[in-house]
Amino acid sequence: MLNPTQIAAAATRIAPYIRHTPVLTVEPGPLGLPYPVRFKLEHTQVTGSFKVRGAFNNLLSRAVPAAGVVAASGGNHGAAVAYAATKLGHKSVIYVPRAIAKEEKLRRMRAFGGEVVLTDGSVADCMTRYARHAEETGALSVHPYDTAPTLAGQGSVGKEMEEQLDGFDTIMVATGGGGLIGGIAAWFGDRINVVSVETEGTNTLARSLDEGPDIDVAASGVSAGSLGGPALGALPYEIVRERVRTAIVLPDAEVYTAARNLWEATRLLGEPGAATALAALTSGAYVPEPDERVAVLLCGGNAEVDWFTG
């Protein structure tokens, strides 16, 4: 299983290429909550999401062939892989499911130098196309959530938070395929309560804990472009099964409310995945104990600026 030593090594490896993103504590009241909330502003990362951590750790710890790299993504992972590949002098091809593709994220991937290939069918069908590309061309496959280098890179955000904040007991993490929550849970172990937050249309982790890992979630709803994994990866599943005790699933309406509250209180713009994590608190689905110190990871910001105003 992934361990903190691997995560610390990844953090050192990727440090020259990523941003040390800031933290913010919002006092009781502005968010409509009677307690302070500590935020990690990972949506201010160089590509607009945490995904660049895992992307760089993959490309810096593995040999990249002349065929370059290939990834499958709803947007953030693709943007991160494209950015990292271009920065390190490699070609990148990103497969994106047409059904959940958002124009803002497609623009980001192309702007960072990626060749974007839109696919029909489900997210699982897109994953099959990307895997076939790797096999046929020899390109390095950069999986969004199910390799140790990806999880170790994503886990570095937990290490960074611990160094920045004055202590916290619980962290809210939006979950897609499990790379982020798996890396964070591997870093913290039993020291921090790691809470998974998903929407009803992207409830991969909650279903995996109930039904086992062999599921196929057809992502839908407001957070599909951020959190639309068909199943948890095998590596994240093993970590989550041991270390994540709480899995919250929310309707889309709560995500819109959380995003509006975040904007009104802080003037911060997060994408639906980021707002999903906060929604666990603003909806009342998670109520901290009186002395419990709570943190929220704002995982990404790659969305149209007015997505939550409709």
Q: Which CATH class is domain 4-50+148-297?
A: alpha beta
Kindly report the length of the chain. 310
State mean pLDDT over 56-79: 94
Domain boundaries, the chain: 4-50+148-297, 51-141
State mean pLDDT over 245-251: 97
Phi, psi torsion values for 49, nearest 5 degrees: -160, 165
Q: List pLDDT tens digits, range 144-173.
A: 889 999 999 999 999 999 999 989 999 999
Residue 216 confidence (pLDDT) above 90 = no
Asked whether the domain spanning 51-141 has the same topology as the one spanning 4-50+148-297, the reply is: yes
Q: List pLDDT tens digits, range 10-34.
A: 999 999 999 999 999 999 999 999 9
The pLDDT of residue 42 is: 98
CATH topology of domain 51-141: Rossmann fold (3.40.50)
- Report whether 4 contacts 185 (CB < 8 A): no
Residue 99 confidence (pLDDT) above 90 = no
Q: Rounded distance, CA 268 to CA 204, Å? A: 27
Q: Rounded distance, CA 109 to CA 198, Å? A: 24
Which of 6, 300, 40, 21 is CA-nearest to residue 152? 6
The pLDDT of residue 291 is: 95
**pTM of the predicted model, to two decimals?**
0.94
Q: Rounded distance, CA 180 to CA 157, Å? A: 9
Residue 240 confidence (pLDDT) above 90 = yes
Helices assigned H by DSSP within the chain = 4-14, 51-61, 76-87, 103-111, 123-137, 148-164, 179-188, 204-211, 224-227, 234-243, 252-266, 272-282
Which of 292, 297, 161 is CA-nearest to residue 227? 297
Q: Rounded distance, CA 187 to CA 182, Å? A: 9
